Structure 1
């Protein structure tokens, strides 16, 4: 089964100023965000990526460009609107401290599955399109590159959190318990209806354990093994 690395874009000017950017045009990585994207790209440079898929918003395209630029081979980022930011409607572009006073804010925190942003999208619809897109790309990449393939999806905080919640079998109403920071790396292996979450919200550390084995037909436990969980936890990545 293929492995998807979920990467949130680096910090933006809107993040730094406490504004809900949403789909506002022209929101770019700030200097901190550029450094974050470069460090994430460096972490992933050791992993030969089969594909990189990105939200079309500029902050994600900048992050994806850093990742593809660090690859030894040629990888072009594919844009997919299905993993773009949630449509926050009338909330878009407003300060978070102002939005926190809105009645809807409490529902966003406690029962997000019931929320539809005024003039925008429901959080349930956001999750459905994000999950469907990742599954679609994952199946296509595995078919083209084999079950050892590793690919990257560059997206947004709420979208990635909702994908992780689905992979963990967690109701959308609990997805606010997950944290997905700027330029963080989360890794999921999708296998039909039984995905496995290998890590979430990581900022540093070696990702070499994601590199497919060199010998054909040999799979490393913890890296690209069978769909069933290893009873007792197994020996970890990098073991035969």
Structure 2
């Protein structure tokens, strides 16, 4: 009965500059981003995680390190499945400039058809991220079964209920990657995923314990803001 918390990296220098950072180096959290993220981490609905995985990019590494101050994780690891989209030739360009290009209509309205020049397609990024979630959920289910077998769901002698048997996982990633995961969980076409907004430094919770995934929280921040009309939820960086 796994539950996944999707944590977007905190506000970064690229977010504040309005730049499409992609996989460029040297993009870190701002001081304001650290402060806001810290406030939000105190609101997490759960603090014990079986697995914490994160994108290898600096802003997600920093975010995972901050998260580790407020949660415990049995294992922490980098997972390339959740790295940022490869924006190719768009990397480092101003969003104000990019929204004026003919391709922006495809990004906004037909995301499944968009391949960034000399980069990755949105569909490819979505597929690797959703596959990564499926693999993590399967791993957590196996862990739950082993735990239940070892401890038992109910202590028959004491007549007490066992602790919450669900295994929780945390994924620290990027706006569009998280939006693609949410869209898949909700059965939304990828072409509609720009209707979602995921703020920097926010968390989203998806429960994978039932027949279909159920999203129980989305883009939660201490400030209560979705930063929301821009694709990516506060910027595609």
Which category of TM-score, normalised to the shorter sequence, fits these structures?
0.7 to 0.9
Write the mapping of 1:23-42 to structure 2, written as runs, cut at 5 A: 23-42=23-42
Partner residue of 2:109?
A: 110
Partner of 2:6, secondary structure, is strand
Write the mapping of 1:120-139 to structure 2, written as runs, cut at 5 A: 120-139=119-138
Distance 1:103 1:187 in 2: 35
Distance 1:143 1:204 in 2: 33
Q: Are the equivalent residues in 1 in contact too, given 2:88–2:118 (CA < 8 A)?
A: yes
Write out the 4+ residue segments of structure 1 that deviate beyond 6 Å after TM superposition.
none
Alignment partner for residue 179 of structure 1, among 191, 197, 205?
A: 197
Partner of 1:204, secondary structure, is coil
1:190 positional shift: 2.2
TM-score (norm 2): 0.81
1:23 to 1:83, Cα distance in 2 relative to 1, 3 A: same
Q: Are the equivalent residues in 2 in contact too, given 1:51–1:152 (CA < 8 A)?
A: yes
Distance 2:141 2:32 in 1: 34
Which blocks of at least 5 consecutive residues in structure 2 are unaligned? 146-164, 224-237
Q: Are the equivalent residues in 2 in contact too, given 1:10–1:182 (CA < 8 A)?
A: yes
Partner residue of 2:50?
A: 50
Partner residue of 1:88?
A: 87
Q: Are the equivalent residues in 2 in contact too, given 1:135–1:190 (CA < 8 A)?
A: no
Distance 1:15 1:60 in 2: 13
Distance 2:118 2:203 in 1: 31
Distance 2:108 2:46 in 1: 38
TM-score (norm 1): 0.80
1:144 aligned onto 2:182: no
Partner residue of 2:158?
A: none
Q: Are the equivalent residues in 2 in contact too, given 1:6–1:187 (CA < 8 A)?
A: yes
Q: Are the equivalent residues in 1 in contact too, given 2:6–2:170 (CA < 8 A)?
A: yes
Alignment partner for residue 219 of structure 2, among 201, 205, 221?
A: 201
Distance 1:192 1:134 in 2: 15
1:64 to 1:45, Cα distance in 2 relative to 1, 3 A: farther
In the comparison of the two structures, how many residue pairs are matched? 204
Q: Are the equivalent residues in 2 in contact too, given 1:36–1:182 (CA < 8 A)?
A: no
1:29 positional shift: 0.1
Partner of 2:169, secondary structure, is strand
Partner of 2:49, secondary structure, is coil
Task: Indicate the structure with greater strand content.
Answer: 2
Partner of 2:68, secondary structure, is helix
1:135 positional shift: 1.1
Q: Which is bigger in relative contact order (C-alpha 8 A, separation at least 6)?
A: 2
Distance 1:18 1:191 in 2: 38
Shifted more, 4-13 versus 196-205: the winner is: 196-205
1:45 positional shift: 7.9
